[in-house]
Amino acid sequence: MSIALRLTLWYAVSTFAVVLVATAALYWSLVKAMYNEDVSDLADNLDYARLLIRSSPESQSALAFRLQSRSAPRSAIYLRLLDSDANPLTESPGMKEELAPPTKEELATLGSIQSNPHRSFSRSGEPLLSLLARVDGEKSPGPPRYLQIAMERGHDEQFLVRYRAHVWFVLGLALVVCAFVGHLIARTGMRPIENIGRAAARIRATTLHERIETRGLPAELSELASAFNDMLDRLDQSFRHISQFSDDVAHELRTPINNLRGEIEVGLSKSRSAEEYRAVLESCQEECGRLSHLVRTLLFLARSDTAGDGLQRQKINVGEELRKIETYYEAAAAEAGIDLEVAAPGSVHADLDRTLFQQAVGNLVANAMTYTPAGGHVRLAAKTCQSGITVSVSDTGCGIAPEHLPRVFERFYRADPARGNSAQNVGLGLAVVKSIAQRHGGHVEIDSKVGRGTEVRLILPVSA
Ligand SMILES: Nc1ncnc2c1ncn2[C@@H]1O[C@H](COP(=O)(O)OP(=O)(O)OP(=O)(O)O)[C@@H](O)[C@H]1O
Ligand SMILES: [Mg+2]
């Protein structure tokens, strides 16, 4: 069921319920007011008749006439005068057919008081309201006499029947009006949502720059539209990254493939000696090695993005691992004239994936050695810190300009392609380091000053 239909139903039902209750309350108070008025009218007539009988007993015969109510002229009033044995002395014409006389017991229980109004039906089915009362005071001589007075209420009933018919008609009309107004309100309320839906449906991969207009929207929907626009911002950014990434991948794959093709074409252009073919094949092998390294790295990053952490954690002595890495790079450092040292106490331990940890620190050391000239220093250090352990690789190399620093962890981003070995370095090393840190639940920081050197810190939790 649509929201508009639900709102319409809720509105119509609740409004109709309120109207129904209000009408019922009004009807009830009208019925009560009419009844009270009839009772007081009957009591007035009773007093008047009692007065007449007391003042001139011979005028009793006047009561034999069918009296008309003074306040409700269309309601007939009947009177009956009774002796103490409940025998009628005189009565209005037709009264015998309308209302039976009271019993002797009823008169005996009455005493000096007037009875409560009594509702009954005449023999002809007419609703009646009657009262019974003593004519004379307690101290008056002779046996007591009683008056029975009754009023026909058929007119009231007919009025109420007509009134009820009107009320039902008006209520039916109110239901239709409530449903219609509810529908209008729901449609108007839903229009901004429909507009948002239409705007959202228009957005495609090629029109990700489009945004939903938030001006003029109600507060709740404005929040929703802003959240939607924020999501589009993020999607747009991700799309740009993916598209940039695909461009970079294509570009980086094209270079070694072109190199391969060039070397093969040169090799095949004329007949060559076995030595020359060997040299061409070796060069091709080297190029293939670079290609497969690039593809492996890209696969690694792609899997890190989609898979869970997938780590094979084990307790490792971080200082020991750093010393192993130092040993691995020692020869290259000596050749490049760089001083490589490790400063880590043996007490730093953590649950890490050994291979990935070595890969991350290896990438940092490779960078430090690439961007540090001969005579420079590269230092590996480890210590415990508040959030786990900090492993840092610092150098005294060329440093990174501040405008590049925020982007060096992006894939394929190279701060200064003129430096380093542009055939070897593609700009994925730091992206891999960041990905490894995140898979361990940690993060990576970088500080650098142009001409002074760079420090990269891996901050990792001690355990998962
Ligand atoms: N220690 C450093 N000193 C100076 N610049 C650095 C240092 N480490 C990284 N950079 C800069 O950051 C860029 C990104 O580094 P990253 O390791 O991601 O890529 P790369 O070293 O160029 O290539 P790859 O590591 O994929 O072979 C580098 O191109 C370089 O400009
Ligand atoms: Mg690198």
Mind listing the pLDDT tens digit for each residue in 291-331?
998 899 888 888 887 766 678 899 999 999 999 999 999 99
Residues 115, 141 within the same domain: yes
Mean pLDDT of 239-260: 86
Q: Ligand 1, closest atom to CA 453?
A: 3
Residues 325, 365 within the same domain: yes
- Ligand located closest to 416 CA: 1
CATH for 82? 3.30.450
CATH for 382? 3.30.565.10
Residue 209's pLDDT band (boundaries 50, 70, 90)?
A: confident
Nearest residue CA, atom 31 of ligand 1? 415
User: Measured from the CB, is residue 415 less than 6 Å from ligand 1?
Assistant: yes
pLDDT tens-digit series, residues 425-436: 889 999 999 999
Residues 288, 338 within the same domain: no
Does the pLDDT of residue 4 top 60, yes or no? yes
Residue 178 lies in a domain: no
Residue 70's pLDDT band (boundaries 50, 70, 90)?
A: very low
Nearest to 128 by CA among 149, 94, 151, 156: 151
Q: In which residue are the tokens 């952490």 written?
A: 309
* The pLDDT value given to residue 117: 85
Residues 290, 326 within the same domain: no
Residue 68's pLDDT band (boundaries 50, 70, 90)?
A: very low
For residue 220, count other CB atoms closer than 10 A to its CB: 10
* The pLDDT value given to residue 385: 92
Percent over 90 (pLDDT), the chain: 43
Nearest residue CA, atom 25 of ligand 1? 429
Query: Radius of gyration of the chain from Cα atoms?
Result: 53
Nearest residue CA, atom 28 of ligand 1? 414
Residue 57 lies in a domain: yes
Does the pLDDT of residue 69 top 50, yes or no? no
User: Measured from the CB, is residue 432 less than 6 Å from ligand 1?
Assistant: no
Residues 293, 318 within the same domain: no
Residues 21, 125 within the same domain: yes
Nearest residue CA, atom 20 of ligand 1? 427
Residue 207 lies in a domain: no
- Ligand located closest to 366 CA: 2
* Mean residue pLDDT across the chain: 87
Residue 445 lies in a domain: yes
> How many angstroms separate the alpha carbon of residue 285 from the centre of ligand 1?
25
Residues 277, 375 within the same domain: no
Residue 209 lies in a domain: no
DSSP secondary structure string for all residues of 274-320: HHHHHHHHHHHHHHHHHHHHHHHHHHHHHHHHHS-----EEEEEHHH
Does the pLDDT of residue 168 top 90, yes or no? yes
> How many angstroms separate the alpha carbon of residue 332 from the centre of ligand 1?
18
Residues 148, 13 within the same domain: yes
Instruction: Identify the domain boundary among 278, 305, 332.
Output: 305
> Coil, helix or strand for 399?
coil
> How many angstroms separate the alpha carbon of residue 428 from the centre of ligand 1?
8
* The pLDDT value given to residue 74: 60
Residue 71's pLDDT band (boundaries 50, 70, 90)?
A: very low
pLDDT tens-digit series, residues 334-378: 999 999 999 999 889 999 999 999 999 999 999 999 999 999 999
Instruction: Identify the domain boundary among 160, 177, 209.
Output: 160
Q: Tell me which of 393, 408, 448, 449 to substitute to probe ligand 1's pocket, judged by most ligand atoms within 8 Å of the beta carbon.
A: 408
Whether the Cβ atoms of residue 23 and residue 30 lie closer than 8 Å to each other: no
Contacts of 457 (CB under 8 A, 6+ apart): 390, 391, 392, 444, 445, 446, 447
Instruction: Identify the domain boundary among 160, 181, 207.
Output: 160
User: Measured from the CB, is residue 69 less than 6 Å from ligand 1?
Assistant: no
- Ligand located closest to 290 CA: 1
> What are the Cα distances from residue 46, in Å, to 146, 224, 461?
11, 75, 101
Q: Where are the beta strands (DSSP E) in 5-158?
A: 67-68, 76-82, 88-91, 118-121, 127-134, 146-152
User: Measured from the CB, is residue 371 less than 6 Å from ligand 1?
Assistant: yes
* The pLDDT value given to residue 373: 95
Q: Which residues surround ligand 2, an ion (CB under 5 A)?
A: 367, 429
Which position has the higher pLDDT, 64 or 184?
184
User: Measured from the CB, is residue 409 less than 6 Å from ligand 1?
Assistant: no
Nearest residue CA, atom 27 of ligand 1? 425
Q: Tell me which of 361, 367, 395, 455 to substitute to probe ligand 1's pocket, judged by most ligand atoms within 8 Å of the beta carbon.
A: 367
User: Measured from the CB, is residue 416 less than 6 Å from ligand 1?
Assistant: yes
* The pLDDT value given to residue 418: 66
Which position has the higher pLDDT, 314 or 98?
314
Residues 66, 115 within the same domain: yes
Residue 206 lies in a domain: no
Whether the Cβ atoms of residue 48 and residue 63 lie closer than 8 Å to each other: no
Domain interval for residue 424: 311-460
> What are the Cα distances from residue 274, in Å, to 193, 268, 277, 455?
76, 12, 5, 49
Residue 219 lies in a domain: no
Q: 424: burial class by Cβ within 10 Å (0-12, 13-18, 19+)?
A: exposed
Residue 199 lies in a domain: no
User: Measured from the CB, is residue 433 less than 6 Å from ligand 1?
Assistant: no
**Which of 152-166, 199-213, 410-424 is the least confident region?**
410-424
Nearest to 363 by CA among 311, 419, 299, 409: 409
Mean pLDDT of 223-244: 88
Residues 369, 241 within the same domain: no
User: Measured from the CB, is residue 425 less than 6 Å from ligand 1?
Assistant: yes
Domain count within the chain: 3
Q: Tell me which of 255, 414, 432 to substitute to probe ligand 1's pocket, judged by most ligand atoms within 8 Å of the beta carbon.
A: 414
User: Measured from the CB, is residue 252 less than 6 Å from ligand 1?
Assistant: no
* Relative orientation angle of helices 154-202 and 219-268, to the nearest 10 degrees: 20
Mean pLDDT of 206-219: 83
Residues 287, 301 within the same domain: yes
Residues 239, 99 within the same domain: no
